[in-house]
Amino acid sequence: MRAARLHEYTDEMGDALSIEDVDRPEVTDDNHVIVEVEGAGWCQTDNHVIEGMWEEQMNQSLPMTLGHENAGTVAEVGSDVTLVSEGDAVVCHPARTCGLCRACRLGQDMHCENLVFPGLSTDGGFADYLLTSERAVILLPDGVDPAEIAPHADAGITAYHAVKKAVRELNPGEHAVVVGVGGLGHIGLQALRTMSAAKITAVEVKDEALDLATDVGADHTVNSRDEDVAEEVDAITDGAGVHQILDFVGNDETLAYAPALLAGGGEHHVVGYGGHIHEPAQALVNGDFDYRGTLVGNYTELEELMALVARGDVELRTTRYDLSDINDVAEKLEHGEIEGRAVITP
Domain ranges of the chain: 2-154+315-345, 157-293
CA 116 to chain centre: 17
Residues 67 and 118: beta-carbon distance below 8 Å: yes
> How many Cα atoms within 13 Å fall on the side-chain side of residue 49?
30
Helix (H, G, I), strand (E, B), or coil: what is residue 29? Answer: coil
Which of these, 91, 152, 71, 98, lies nearest to 340 by C-alpha position? 152
Gyration radius (Cα) of the chain, Å: 20
Distances (CA, A) of 5 to 66, 161, 216, 278, 303: 7, 30, 36, 37, 30
Distances (CA, A) of 241 to 17, 112, 223: 45, 37, 18
How far, in Å, CA of 111 to CA of 26, rounded?
A: 26
Which of these, 301, 149, 313, lies nearest to 216 by C-alpha position? 313
CA distance between the termini of the chain:
10
Phi-psi region of 296 (alpha: psi -120 to 50; beta: other; left: phi over 0): left
Cis ω on the peptide bond leading into residue 63 (within 30° of 0)? Answer: yes
How far, in Å, CA of 263 to CA of 16, rounded?
A: 44
How far, in Å, CA of 241 to CA of 201, rounded?
A: 11
Per-residue pLDDT at 295 = 93
**226: phi then psi, degrees, rounded to nearest 5:** -110, -20
Which of these, 45, 18, 40, lies nearest to 327 by C-alpha position? 18
CA 67 to chain centre: 12
Domains 2-154+315-345 and 157-293 alike in fold = no
Per-residue pLDDT at 143 = 85
| Amino acid letter for position 93 | H
Reading the chain (346 residues) residue by residue, the pLDDT tens digits are 999 999 999 999 999 999 999 999 999 999 999 999 999 999 989 999 999 988 888 888 999 999 999 999 999 999 999 999 999 999 999 999 999 999 999 999 999 999 999 999 999 999 999 999 999 999 998 889 999 999 999 999 999 999 999 999 999 999 999 999 998 999 999 999 999 999 999 999 999 999 999 999 999 999 999 999 999 999 999 999 999 999 999 999 999 999 999 999 999 999 998 899 999 999 999 999 999 999 999 999 999 999 999 999 999 989 999 999 999 999 999 988 888 899 999 9
**Spatial CB neighbours of 19, under 8 Å, sequence gap ≥ 6:** 2, 3, 4, 5, 323, 324, 326
Runs of H (alpha helix) within 197-256: 207-215, 229-236, 252-255
Per-residue pLDDT at 46 = 94
| Amino acid letter for position 76 | E
Note the pLDDT tens digit of each residue in 35-82: 999 999 999 899 999 999 888 888 889 999 999 999 999 999 999 999
How far, in Å, CA of 304 to CA of 163, rounded?
A: 12
Class of domain 2-154+315-345: alpha beta
Domain 157-293: which CATH number of 1.10.1060.10, 3.20.20.450, 1.10.1240.10, 3.40.50.720? 3.40.50.720
